[in-house]
């Protein structure tokens, strides 16, 4: 009976412990999980959902942020830029003085008043309303000695619309397809709520671990928090949509300014609040630097409208307020927007560290946005929580340098940009994806890092970028145009920054053409004698000062034991490094003695940078820093002529600066051709295919007169918009007679359609027609007319089959004339020109689209024409035609006519060109403004004089008889940096394991990755249930053990129960009675 009662008590205690366990499990979401997007838990634990367009019932939202963007010129308003900062009275006097000289009596003008904080301070521009402004009046303004530039005022519309996803809701780490809108002006770089973009690198099954709740903790900001660093004393500016005054997430909003024409400082969209929260939120979805001074610049209205002048005024005010860090989550492809670009340079020259999103136009290459593509700005790309490059993140290279040079490495760094949580518009948290999310992650990290440095004078745009890229963790299997220098590592950046000494460094810090895949595209093709020089564009970062120079000349030192004397090196560089940076272009070629040699050659270039010392007590008044650029290349014997293909880059033009339309007119949301038309940007897949087929592809960045045609089998011209020098036409005809072959992929050209796709010119204030069509067909016809060939002005599209391959013709032209002994293939296609002009549909039978021709001269080359380039262009390719390119190269390189074409049922007699007139150049076009060939002339533009071919000055080698380093990447470190000297506390117990939640996995077991010190831990009270739960588990375990013992003890106690009974019966034995057995 006693045993039963004891067991019942134990069981009752166990039941109570189990109930306590269940209660604590019910409370755990307050500890280990965040409130769902857009929801906030009130004291009664009743969820109240704020009006945000986000899902409130799952870890993933099924809403997508649809981005629409447009821009137009404000009628009669001009931005007049001055050569310096002047008072309002002085600016007015300069303008009136300049306009008096115009002698235009009908001219009416007035200065547009400014209603913003900058109106009380000197400025370097004025906004003026001018009625009936003639081009002569504007030119007169620019003639004034204190007026630098006159540009029209822009009005920008940005539409962020949350729409239901057309796809069913997917798990948080699933892959979804995404289509860029590719806006052609600056816009917010935010995508929709959280979904994952994976590259497929990690496809094997593996053990998954939970992540902490906030991106700041994932990047271990809590390590610095516990050391007492929380962003104190650092001024950070957010240029966006504003912030509510009483938002509960922010404690140190120093100033909110409104630069719009609305009378409010609050955020009516939520984007600016989210960005500010990632940087400086102090509770719930914690930011990196909650103690930083937050300066909110509202530059977009609730209708998502902004003006160029608003940005310029706001930038000037940021300089005046001595802002330290500035986040700009907008971007656009126009790196020739001079007022904007110049002002960014001025900002960074004033020690403002600008962090900007690299763009959401991935996975296409050559899609970098400005200002993130500038050398002085930290350009940020996005990754997901599995360290895959986000599909939306824009890829390099920069296209400023084309066609003659080569692009720089961008982005600078990547960090989390998919499904990141930040502050909701009024309260609570929400999730967003996009590089505009990754940008404030880095901006917050930069703010936090700056607060850890005792000597703030050491912190500048160059030193901060040097610390970030030197500490970045390289992602495996990803090239430098996708990840830059790698993934943000906050703790290593802290260690480097706190042992930093002013110095110069290089980006990239070495050139290894054998390292794959990081050094793609350089690693994809070895170099050989006779090939075009390989150009590597290196950025010099100067942490010693805003200005600098290269002392003497860079020195080339080949390693003799590593065959360094087998390569020649030429170096060109910026004469002045400003602001904080400059370029170092390294051209590499193979020496003649290595024409038949195969192997690896190494050497290095030594560069010394000097900057004026801020403290004149320094010796000589200058700081100097010498950096080494290691070079390693793979050399092979010169391949045969038939395997060498030359890509004509010189005759490709793109936006900016001119209006060059897309090759596919169906892409109405992406009207401009702005990706560079380079084999390493939007023709990357074609290049990779040709390399896989054994071809060696080189780039011609100079006129046709500047290459030795005897070295190449085929000249490849794709989507050419430029005109041709008469000397080029003559030389090409001679080269083809001597065995060079030519392949041309053309595109549409129709003057009526070009007039139809016009828009208002922002510079001339006139309707602006395209300067060419998809390609400059009249110029191509001049080039190939000597062989009796020509393209038409027809515009066609449609699906068809050729040689058992499915094909799609996207806004291509037809062949109008072809030699009678050539091979011509025709297909039935839709007349897209008729559809564009009259909205009518018609099918045209027998449209000639492909032509093959063997020139009659002895040993002459072959010519192939195709009317559409979209099938090899990554921009909007629907069905590739790489097989066709293979067949054409077999024909041009080896004179092997594909039977599938020569015996095709679609073969037709060559057209004679009598059916319709050949296309003529658009009357009044402005191609000469952007052309390298044409120049303005009375009447029609005329060709310029043929420029001299580029001549490289090869550096005189200074050989070294020593062994080169084996690992160039790890060998390169910032000078004067000793990570061992910067000791971190033992935070291992607080470091979180990182990965996204699995589909359907609860976040209830996510333990915080660290607690912010003191008053910053707004959820410290919520940790009490955790300790109570752990204590209850200990008690429950104790009772379970005791209950187990209770069940086993009766078996051992049986003898003890009988023994007392036996002893009590012993006296009976003395009476002669036997005990019972």
| DSSP-assigned letters across all residues of 765-821 | SSEE--SSSSS-HHHHHHHHGGGT-EE-S--EEEEEEETTEEEEEEEE--EEE--TT
Can you give the pLDDT at residue 1073? Answer: 37
pLDDT band at 687; cut points 50, 70, 90: very high
Residues involved in catalysis:
240, 271, 436
Number of Cα atoms under 13 Å in the Cβ half of residue 165: 20
Per-residue pLDDT at 765 exceeds 80: no
Res. 100 pLDDT band, cuts 50 70 90: confident
The pLDDT of 561-586, averaged and rounded, is: 96
pLDDT at 915: 78
Neighbours of 178 (CB within 10 A): 17
CA distances from 908 to 518, 825, 827, 918, 1051 (A): 48, 6, 10, 20, 103
Whether the pLDDT of residue 615 is over 80: the answer is no
Mean pLDDT of 526-546: 97
- Look up the pTM and report it: 0.80
Rounded mean pLDDT of 633-651?
A: 97
The confidence score (pLDDT) of residue 77 equals: 86
Least confident range from 146-150, 802-806, 879-883: namely 146-150
- pLDDT higher than threshold 70 for residue 1002: no
Which contacts (CB < 8 Å, 24+ apart) does range 610-618 have? 610/548, 610/549, 610/550, 610/551, 611/542, 611/544, 611/545, 611/547, 611/548, 611/549, 611/577, 612/545, 612/547, 613/545, 614/457, 614/545
Q: What is the bridge-based pairing of β-strands 330-331 and 843-854?
A: unpaired
Backbone angles phi, psi at 787, to 5 degrees: -100, 15
For residues 157 and 71, what is the distance between their CA atoms, to the nearest angstrom? 6
Q: Do 612 and 621 form a contact (C-beta atoms < 8 A)?
A: yes
**The pLDDT value given to residue 738:** 96
Burial of 393 (0-12, 13-18, 19+ CB in 10 A): buried
What number is the average pLDDT over the span 921-934? 89
pLDDT reading at 706 higher than 60: yes
Q: State how far the Cα of 903 lies from the Cα of 236, in Å rounded to an integer.
A: 69
Question: Could you say which DSSP state residue 51 is in?
Answer: S
Least confident of 527-541, 749-763, 796-810: 749-763
Cα(675)–Cα(398) distance, integer angstroms: 9
pLDDT value of position 235 = 98
Dihedrals phi, psi of 356, to nearest 5 degrees: -140, 150
Looking up tokens 């027609």, which residue turns up?
A: 769
The whole-number pLDDT of residue 36 equals 32
Going 38 to 43 to 47 to 51, the CA torsion angle's sign is: negative
Lookup: tokens for 777: 């067909």
Q: For residue 378, which of 254, 448, 461 has the smallest C-alpha distance?
A: 461
Query: What is the C-alpha end-to-end distance of the chain, expressed in Å?
Result: 25
In this structure, are residues 646 and 687 in contact, taking their beta carbons and an 8 Å threshold?
A: no
In this predicted structure, the answer to whether residue 210 has a pLDDT above a threshold of 50 is: no
786, 866 contact by CB (below 8 A): no
What's the average model confidence in pLDDT over 938-956? Answer: 90
pLDDT, average across residues 607-624: 80
Share of the chain above pLDDT 70, in %: 76
Mean pLDDT of 85-107: 84
Question: Considering the chain, what is the average pLDDT of its residues?
Answer: 82
Summarize the confidence of residues 530-537 as an average pLDDT: 96
| 413: nearest Cα among 466, 360, 365 | 466
Nearest to 947 by CA among 710, 716, 706, 717: 706
DSSP string, 647-680: EE-TT---TTTS--B-S-TT-TT--B--S---TT
pLDDT at 958 over 90: yes
Length of the chain: 1077
Instruction: Look at 941 and 727; give whichever has higher pLDDT.
Output: 727
For the stretch 815-848, pLDDT in tens is: 999 999 999 999 999 999 999 999 999 999 999 9
pLDDT band at 1005 (very low <50, low <70, confident <90, very high): very low
Query: Taking 80 as the threshold, does the pLDDT of residue 1062 lie above it?
Result: no
Please state the φ and ψ torsions of residue 1025, each to the nearest 5 degrees: -60, -25
Q: What confidence score (pLDDT) does residue 155 get?
A: 75
Determine the pLDDT at residue 613. 87
Phi, psi of 1022 (to 5 degrees): -75, -10
Which pLDDT score, from 0 to 100, does residue 10 have? 54
Rounded CA gap, 607 and 629, in Å? 8
Peptide bond into 632 cis (omega under 30): no
Tokens matching residue 584:
């170092």
Which uninterrupted H or E stretch holds 907?
Answer: strand 907-908
Confidence band of 74 (pLDDT split at 50, 70, 90) = confident
* CA 92 to chain centroid: 41
The pLDDT of 760-766, averaged and rounded, is 44
Residue 149's pLDDT band, with cuts at 50, 70 and 90, is confident
Please choose, from the candidates 472, 581, 339, the residue with its C-alpha nearest in 3D space to the C-alpha of residue 973: 472
In which element (H, E) is residue 341 found?
helix 338-349
Which residues on adjacent β-strands are paired with residue 441? none
52: pLDDT strictly greater than 60: no
CA distance 402 to 650: 8
Contacts of 444 (CB under 8 A, 6+ apart): 216, 221, 236, 278, 279, 280, 287, 288, 289
Question: Once rounded to an integer, what is the mean pLDDT over residues 512-541?
Answer: 96
Residue 159 confidence (pLDDT): 53
Cβ neighbours around 139 below 10 Å, total: 11
DSSP annotation of 251: S
pLDDT above 80 for 289: yes
Whether pLDDT at 561 is above 50: yes
Three-class SS of residue 641?
helix
pLDDT for 988 beyond 70: no
Largest CA distance in the chain: 151
């Amino acid at each position: 009976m006693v045993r039963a009662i004891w067991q019942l008590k134990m069981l009752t205690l166990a039941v109570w412990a189990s109930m306590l366990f269940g209660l604590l499990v019910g409370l755990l979401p307050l500890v280990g999980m965040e409130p769902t997007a857009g929801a906030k838990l009130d004291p009664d634990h009743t969820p109240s959902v704020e009006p945000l367009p986000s899902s409130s019932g799952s870890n993933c939202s099924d809403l997508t942020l649809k981005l629409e963007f447009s821009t137009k010129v404000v009628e009669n308003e001009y931005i007049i830029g001055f050569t310096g900062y002047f008072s309002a009275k002085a600016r007015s006097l300069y303008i009136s003085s300049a306009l008096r000289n115009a002698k235009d009596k009908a001219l009416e003008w007035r200065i547009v008043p400014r209603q913003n904080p900058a109106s009380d301070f000197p400025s370097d521009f004025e906004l003026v309303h001018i009625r009936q402004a003639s081009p002569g009046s504007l030119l007169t303004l620019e003639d004034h000695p204190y007026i630098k530039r006159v540009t029209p005022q822009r009005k920008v519309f940005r539409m962020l619309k949350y729409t239901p996803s057309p796809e069913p809701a997917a798990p948080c780490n699933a892959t979804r397809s995404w289509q860029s809108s590719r806006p052609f002006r600056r816009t917010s770089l935010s995508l929709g709520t959280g979904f994952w973009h994976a590259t497929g690198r990690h496809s094997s099954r593996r053990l998954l671990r939970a992540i902490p709740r906030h991106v700041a903790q994932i990047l271990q900001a809590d390590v610095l928090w516990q050391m007492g660093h929380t962003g104190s004393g650092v001024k950070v500016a957010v240029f966006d949509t504003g912030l509510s005054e009483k938002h509960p997430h922010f404690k140190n909003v120093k100033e909110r300014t409104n630069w719009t024409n609305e009378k409010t400082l609050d955020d009516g969209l939520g984007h600016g609040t989210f960005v500010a929260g990632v940087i400086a939120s102090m509770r719930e979805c914690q930011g990196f630097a909650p103690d930083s001074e937050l300066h909110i610049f509202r530059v977009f209205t609730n209708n998502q409208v902004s003006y160029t002048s608003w940005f310029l005024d706001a930038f000037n005010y940021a300089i005046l307020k001595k802002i330290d860090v500035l986040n700009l989550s907008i971007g656009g492809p126009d790196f020739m927007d001079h007022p904007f670009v110049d002002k960014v340079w001025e900002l960074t020259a004033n020690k403002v560290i600008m962090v900007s999103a690299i763009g959401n136009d991935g996975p296409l290459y050559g899609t970098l946005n400005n200002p993130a593509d500038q050398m002085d700005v930290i350009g940020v790309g996005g990754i997901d929580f599995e360290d895959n490059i986000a599909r939306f993140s824009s890829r390099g290279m920069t296209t400023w340098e084309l066609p003659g040079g080569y692009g720089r490495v961008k982005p600078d760094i990547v960090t989390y940009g998919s499904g990141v949580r930040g502050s909701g518009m009024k309260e609570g948290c929400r999730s967003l994806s996009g590089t505009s999310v990754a940008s404030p992650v880095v901006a917050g990290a930069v703010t936090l890092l700056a607060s850890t440095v005792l000597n703030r004078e050491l912190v500048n745009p160059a030193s901060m970028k040097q610390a970030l890229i030197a500490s970045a963790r390289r992602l495996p299997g990803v090239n430098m145009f996708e990840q830059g220098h790698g993934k943000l590592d906050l703790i290593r950046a802290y260690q480097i920054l706190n042992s930093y000494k002013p110095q110069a460094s290089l980006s990239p810090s070495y050139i290894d053409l054998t390292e794959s895949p990081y050094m793609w595209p350089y690693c994809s093709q070895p170099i050989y004698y006779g090939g075009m020089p390989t150009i590597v564009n290196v950025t010099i970062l100067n942490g010693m000062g805003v200005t600098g120079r290269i002392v003497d000349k860079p020195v080339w030192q080949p390693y003799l034991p590593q065959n360094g004397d087998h390569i020649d090196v030429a170096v060109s560089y910026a004469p002045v490094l400003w602001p904080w940076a400059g370029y170092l272009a390294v051209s590499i070629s193979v020496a003649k003695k290595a024409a038949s040699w195969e192997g690896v050659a190494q050497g290095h270039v030594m560069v010394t940078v000097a900057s004026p010392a801020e403290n004149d007590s320094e010796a000589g008044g200058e700081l100097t820093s010498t950096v080494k650029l290691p070079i390693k290349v793979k050399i092979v014997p010169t391949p045969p002529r038939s395997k060498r293909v030359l890509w004509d880059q010189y005759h490709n033009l793109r936006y900016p600066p001119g209006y060059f339309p897309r090759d596919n007119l169906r892409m109405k949301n992406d009207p401009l051709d702005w990706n560079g038309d380079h084999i390493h940007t939007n023709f990357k897949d074609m290049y990779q295919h040709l390399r896989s087929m054994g071809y060696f592809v080189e780039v011609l960045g100079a006129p046709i007169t500047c290459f030795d045609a005897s070295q190449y089998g085929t000249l490849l011209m794709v989507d050419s918009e430029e005109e041709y020098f008469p000397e080029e036409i003559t030389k090409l005809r001679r080269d083809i007679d001597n065995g060079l072959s030519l392949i041309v992929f053309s595109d549409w050209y129709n003057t009526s359609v070009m007039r139809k796709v016009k828009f208002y010119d922002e510079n001339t204030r006139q309707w602006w027609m395209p300067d060419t069509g998809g390609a400059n067909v009249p110029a191509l016809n001049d080039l190939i007319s000597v062989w009796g060939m020509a393209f038409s002005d027809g515009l066609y599209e449609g699906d068809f089959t050729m040689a058992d391959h499915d094909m799609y013709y996207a806004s291509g032209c037809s062949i109008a004339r072809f030699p009678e002994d050539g091979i011509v293939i025709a297909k039935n296609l839709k007349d897209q020109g008729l559809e564009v002009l009259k909205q009518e549909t018609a099918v045209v039978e027998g449209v000639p689209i492909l032509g093959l021709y063997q020139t009659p001269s002895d040993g002459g080359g072959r010519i192939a024409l195709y009317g559409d380039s979209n099938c090899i262009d990554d921009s909007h390719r629907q069905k590739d035609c790489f097989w066709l390119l293979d067949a054409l190269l077999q024909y041009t390189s080896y004179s092997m006519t594909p039977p599938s074409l020569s015996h095709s049922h679609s073969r037709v007699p060559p057209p004679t060109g009598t059916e319709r007139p050949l296309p003529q150049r658009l009357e009044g076009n402005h191609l000469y403004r952007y052309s390298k060939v044409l120049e303005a002339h009375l009447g029609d533009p005329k060709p310029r004089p043929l420029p001299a071919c580029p001549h490289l000055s090869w550096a005189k080698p200074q050989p070294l008889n020593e062994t080169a380093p084996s690992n160039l990447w790890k060998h390169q470190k910032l000078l004067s940096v000793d990570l061992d000297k910067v000791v971190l506390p033992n935070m291992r117990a607080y470091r979180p394991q990182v990965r996204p939640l699995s589909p359907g996995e609860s976040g209830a077991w996510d333990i915080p990755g660290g607690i912010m010190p003191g008053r910053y831990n707004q959820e410290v009270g919520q940790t009490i249930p955790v300790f109570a739960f752990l204590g209850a588990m200990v008690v429950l375990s104790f009772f379970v053990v005791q209950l187990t013992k209770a069940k086993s003890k009766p078996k051992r106690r049986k003898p003890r129960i009988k023994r007392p009974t036996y002893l009590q019966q012993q006296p009976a034995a003395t009476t002669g009675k036997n005990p019972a057995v």
